[in-house]
Amino acid sequence: MNIKKYTEDLYLFLKLHKNKEIALKQAKYMRNRFEFIGLMRDDIKKLVSEFEAKHGKIAKKESFQFCIECTKYNEREMWYIGFKALEGYKKFYIKEDLAVLRQWVEKSDWWDIVDIIASHHLGAIAAQSNEARETIKGWIDEPNFWLRRCAIIFQLKYKKDTDTDFLFYICKELAHEKEFFIRKAIGWALREYSKTNPNAVHAFIQENHTLLSPLSIKEGSKYL
């Protein structure tokens, strides 16, 4: 399959259903940082299904290249479609793919895509490659706070396999930051791990309540 042509055809098909009113509302919700075609989630699902019925589906092994093509477009719906398809690629990751994942984090520049990449895809590649995992951990020192956020939350789905020492270390190291998305990420990571090890998270929050922000403590204590 010609992935580039397939993606172009999909984009043009979606553009036929552009809704300017919805697009303006979606852009406003995202602080006018991104462009939209103006499709709601159910619309996207329906239209993609219609397109696939005529043109076929992307094979799982081709979904990484498909996502690369989707992210060349400005409209956010194309990004959502690309990363939805990429869910089938997780078992095929190799450590070299991490460079592209990083580029996507930096280019996407907002939580809607960053959080998908971090919890689904960085988590998957780090589970398969110790080298990739150590690289992601090193993002704690990156100037781009979205990369630091990824280092906090890439283990969200790890449960008992969570590197607890690193989780607590990064929460402490970044606890001083004023950035909302960092404070929220710390709380989110602690909250998720509390479902697996509530005692450890409770003890960590108690020991570090003077370091952690009220937001991080509130989020992290939700299930305690």
- Cα–Cα distance measured from residue 188 to residue 33, given in angstroms and rounded to the nearest whole number: 24
Q: Where are the chain's structural domains?
A: 1-92, 94-224
Task: Read off the pLDDT of residues 89-142 as tens digits, 9 standing for 90 and up.
Answer: 999 999 999 999 999 999 999 999 999 999 999 999 999 999 999 999 999 999
Q: Kindly report the average pLDDT of the chain as a whole number.
A: 97
What's domain 1-92's architecture? Alpha Horseshoe (1.25)
Q: Which fold has domain 94-224?
A: Leucine-rich Repeat Variant (1.25.10)
Q: Are 57 and 71 in contact (CB under 8 A)?
A: no
At 221, the pLDDT band (50, 70, 90 cuts) reads: very high
- At 198, the amino acid letter reads P
**Angle at CA of residue 43, ends 40 and 45, nearest 5°:** 110
CATH topology identical between 1-92 and 94-224: yes
- Quote the pTM value: 0.94
Q: What is the pLDDT of residues 158-205, one digit of tens each?
A: 999 999 999 999 999 999 999 999 999 999 999 999 999 999 999 999
Tokens of 157: 């789905």
C-alpha 135/C-alpha 144 separation (Å) is 15
